[in-house]
Structure 1
Amino acid sequence: MRVLFCTDPLLPRSPDRAFAPEVAAADAAGLAWSCCDFEALVGGDVGAALRRVPASERIEVAIYRGWMMPLAAYDALHAGLLARGLQLVNDPAAHRSAHLLPAALPHLGDDTPATVVLPLAAGLEDSRIAAALAPFGARALIVKDYVKSRKHEWNDACFIRAADDDAEVRRVVGNFLARQGEDLVGGLVFRAYEPLVPLGNDPRSDMPLPREWRRFIADGRPLIESPAWEIADSIAPPEFTELARRVPCRFFSLDLAERAAGGWTAIELGDGQVAGLPPRMDPAQFYRALAAWDPQPLAG
């Protein structure tokens, strides 16, 4: 197994300094790693992006740990690595199944809040949005795109107090679209807001910090988990074993939160290669867990 880190934009022979703790942890765990040029990759030059990735004589699993990228760039990364004898742990279909919320919804099933998806290609006019939100009645909502929310701008560009408040919907959605700009992925996703067990509020954004955990899943089994926030929290979520086995992805993150009314809900999935480590997760433990997993290549 080899870990693939992004290069530092200012030091192209070295990993990005943002991932320095993970690089040190990979070294300590005895994991081999290489660097890819992220800027070249998203710019469409996969050959230049992988020029410092040595070929493997036999098929070897690669786990990318770096920044999110457009789907076309991920496809190119997968193909470019295969040409060097490296098999990304998640192929393009698996990547999409966890990375894009609409693709993840069939696997999340009833374990996640009610959700409506509006593709950008179909139009995002106010009338279409109002019609899509009608089934929610006066329920509160969260708005995001297929990949990201703006949760740290909670009251301005994320949380909608009532789905039937047209002015509030226009304000929050308008802010979200304007601030996402060209980074908008896919379209809009509206999710029913479920009150969660509160732990506090973010001092900068006033975003509520619920009891939420991030769990990494490897080949259908829990690998490592941690509270999502810096706030200490010892109450871990249940296994969600069936959900973990439903997702057609070898390595993904699963964010779970406790409802105020009781029970836990799945907030979202993510490709484990681009999911950030929670602040209370020790990179050394994460990489020791990866080394112990040691995924083997898949045939075909």
Structure 2
Amino acid sequence: MRVLFCTDPLVDRRPDRAFAPEVEAADEVGLPWSCVDFEALVAGDVAAALHRVSAKDELEVAIYRGWMLPLAAYDALFAGLGARGLQLVNDPAAYRSAHLLPAALPHLGEDTPQTVVMPQGDRLEWPQIHAALAQFGGRALVVKDYVKSRKHEWSDACFIRAADDVAEVRRVVGNFLERQGDDLVGGLVFRAYEPLVPLGNHPKSDMPLPREWRRFIADGRPLVEAPAWEIADAVAPPEFAELARRVPSRFFSLDLAERQAGGWIAVELGDGQVAGLPPRLDPARFYRALVAWDPRPIGP
């Protein structure tokens, strides 16, 4: 198994400094790693992106730990590595199944809040948006695109107090669209807001910090987990084993939160290769878990 880190944009022979704790942890447990040029990959130059990745004589699993990749870039990475004898742990279909919320919804099933998806190809105009939100009545909502929210701009570009409040919807959604700009992925996603067990508020954005955990799943089984926030929290979520088995991905993250009304919900999925480590998850613990998992290649 080999780990692939993003190259430092200033020094292409070393990993991006943002991943330094993970690189140190990989070295500590003896996991070999290589650098992938993220900028070249996104620009479509696969040969340049992988020029520091040596070819393998025997098929080997690779796990990418880097910045989120657009779908086309992930496809190119998968193919380019395959030509070098490296098999990304998740194929492109698996990447989509967890990385894009609309693709994840069938696997989340009833374990996640009510959701409305409006693809960018449709008319994202106010009459259509208000019509789509009518099914929520006066419930509170959160808005995001297929991949990201602006949760750290909670009151301005994420949280909608009431779906039937025309002015509020236009204010928050308008801010979200303007600030996402060309980075908008897929379209708009509206999710019913579930009141969650509160732990506090973010010191900078004032975003409410709920009891929420991030769990990494490997081949259908929990690999490692930790609270999503720096606030100490010892109450871990239940197993959600059936949900984990439904997701057609070898390696993904599952974010779980406790409802004030009781029980836990699945907030979202993420591809395990681009999901960040929670602040209270020691990178060494994460990499020891990867070594213990030691995924084998699939197919010939």
Q: Any idea what the Cα deviations from partners look like across 1:27-56, whole Å, max 9, x if unmatched?
A: 111101000101100010000000000001
What residue is the counterpart of 1:200 in the other structure?
200
Give the structure 1 partner of residue 63 of structure 2.
63
What is the 5 A alignment of 1:123-162?
Answer: 123-162=123-162
Q: CA deviation at 1:15?
A: 0.4
TM-superposed CA distance for 1:69, in Å, is 1.4
Question: Partners in 1 of 2:58 and 2:131 — Cα distance?
Answer: 54
Q: 1:189 maps to which residue?
A: 189
Are 1:23 and 2:6 counterparts?
Answer: no
Query: Are 1:287 and 2:287 matched, yes or no?
Result: yes
CA-CA distance at 1:99 after TM superposition: 0.1
| Partners of 2:61 and 2:127 in 1: CA distance | 48
Q: Write the distance in 2 (CA, Å) between the matches of 1:204 and 1:20.
A: 25
Counterpart of 2:148, as a letter, is K
Mapped to 1, the partners of 2:166 and 2:8 lie a distance apart of 45
Question: What is the rounded CA distance, in whole Å, between the counterparts of 1:59 and 1:75 in structure 2?
Answer: 18
Post-superposition shift, 1:62? 0.3
Q: How much has 1:265 moved relative to structure 2?
A: 0.2
Provide the residue aligned with 2:39 in structure 1.
39
- The 3-state SS of whatever aligns with 1:13 is coil
Q: How far apart, CA to CA, are the structure 2 residues paired with 1:136 and 1:210?
A: 22
Count of residues in Structure 1 that have an aligned counterpart in Structure 2? 300
Aligned to 2:254: 254
CA–CA distance in structure 1, aligned partners of residues 78 and 10 of structure 2: 25
- Tell me the CA shift for residue 263 of structure 1: 0.1
Q: Cα distance, 1:147 vs. partner?
A: 0.1
Counterpart amino acid of 1:34? S
Aligned structure 1 segments of 4 or more residues deviating by more than 2 angstroms: none
2:122 is the counterpart of 1:122: yes
Aligned-partner residue type, residue 210 of structure 1? P
**In the alignment, structure 1 residue 2 sits paired with structure 2 residue 2:** yes
CA RMSD of aligned residues (A): 0.5
Residues 154-173 of structure 1 aligned to structure 2 (within 5 Å)? 154-173=154-173
2:293 counterpart of 1:299 = no
- Deviation of 1:273 after TM superposition, in Å, equals 0.2
1:77-92 counterparts in 2 under 5 A? 77-92=77-92
Name the SS for the 1:108 alignment partner: helix
* Structure 1 residue 173: Cα displacement: 0.2
1:222-279: CA deviation from partner (whole Å, max 9, x where unpaired): 0000000000000000000000000000000000000000000000000000000000
Q: TM-score, normalised by structure 1?
A: 1.00
| 1:64 aligned partner, one-letter code | Y
Task: State the secondary structure of the residue aligned to 2:232.
Answer: coil
Equivalent residue, structure 2, for 1:272? 272
Structure 2 alignment gaps of length 5 or more: none
3-state SS of paired residue (1:22):
helix
Deviation at 1:203, TM superposition (A): 1.2
Identity, % of aligned pairs? 81
Alpha-carbon separation, structure 2, partners of 1:275 and 1:114: 23
Residue 137 of structure 1: CA displacement? 0.1
Q: Give the Cα–Cα distance (whole angstroms) in 2 for the partners of residues 100 and 208 of structure 1.
A: 24
The aligned amino acid for 1:91 is: D
Alpha-carbon distance between aligned partners in 2 of 1:160 and 1:152, rounded to the nearest angstrom: 14
The equivalent residue for 1:104 is 104
